[in-house]
Structure 1
Amino acid sequence: MCACGLGGGVAPVWSLVSCLWYEKWSQYIIAKVLEEAIDDSNEAGIAKAIEGLGSLHELGKLVGDNWSNIVTPETYSNPNLPSSALQWVNITMCYNESNENVLFCNAIQQTRQNVFVPASKVAADADEAGKIAYSATEKSELLKTASATNALSTAIISSVLSIIVIVLVMVIIYLILRYRRKKKMNKKLQYTKLLNQ
């Protein structure tokens, strides 16, 4: 009786619980992979934007370590970022009393097109670097987790197949016993008919 309850009641429930757990675990892994890919994408995009902006007319020397105020994960791929960064530097550096950065201020004010056109290309380059980093990280992380999820799916498939085999064996045994019982009952009926005659 106990074995019948174990085979018929616990195993299907365990299979269901395993499938649900596997699905939740897969969702968690995919969320972690996407989160890591987004982080790597932001890092690569910000680094490319800072590198591009820093090379524009010695802008890197003027801004120093204040890049975190200008280039953020939300703004590194914005086409208006370089213009706003240059305007921020222009306002903070050129319109004060000391006016230490005369060369930069003159370059910005005299050749706006020479500065702002390359600056808008910086955002496109940063966006492209972010996309490349995103796809590379996503592929590498999914390949790392594929073996783990593959092993789990193999275990789940094998457990489901074993349950199906057990059920088939039980059905076959039931049919054999039923056939034997029917055969016995037919023999008994024949004996009773013979005795009654």
Structure 2
Amino acid sequence: MGRNRILTLERAGLVDRDSILKAGSEQLKKYLPEKVGLALLNRLSAEKREEHQQPEEATGKLPLCIEARPIKNRYSVIINNQSIALPAKSFKLLTRLAVALLNNPDGWIHKDQLEAGFNQSRYISRLKKELLPYLPEGYSLIENNRLGSYRLNLTKENLKIEWGNLEKVEDEELKSIINFAVDKNKSDG
């Protein structure tokens, strides 16, 4: 929709979604071509429906369990009551995010603490794609604050880490994650 049409709507007092939806197609015909008005109404109606149909999990109630059972060269995670085997790199990232959620008041962890080097964004993107089929539509498990930090979109109560299984994993990087979490909890307690 062009600038002139937007100005026309603004002059008519149709400045937000609710006022445009309330006006309806008959009133919009006065200001816009019929097809443009109907397309606008359809798009705004769809947005409003999506907004009201957000899944309950979108409030952070989605359950996540870092189960850490080895399955070949992968590790198990239970998300939204479905088991998934993640590759080692993705599992380590998810575990670091989970530990950050437990240890930091707001749960944020900077990308340099997640993974050394310059490929953090690519690894996080891969992890998001691996988790996507197990999440409710429109739900984003990993949040980004646009300042280089990430966190899990969960409440601490809905996160479970099987520490016993994690300690059995033969991986030095995971052991350092576990040791950091244990040391942090001891110093806090």
With normalisation by structure 2, the TM-score equals 0.21
Structure with max Cα Rg: 1
Q: Higher helix fraction: Structure 1 or Structure 2?
A: 1
Q: Quick one: higher RCO (CA 8 Å, sep 6+), 1 or 2?
A: 1
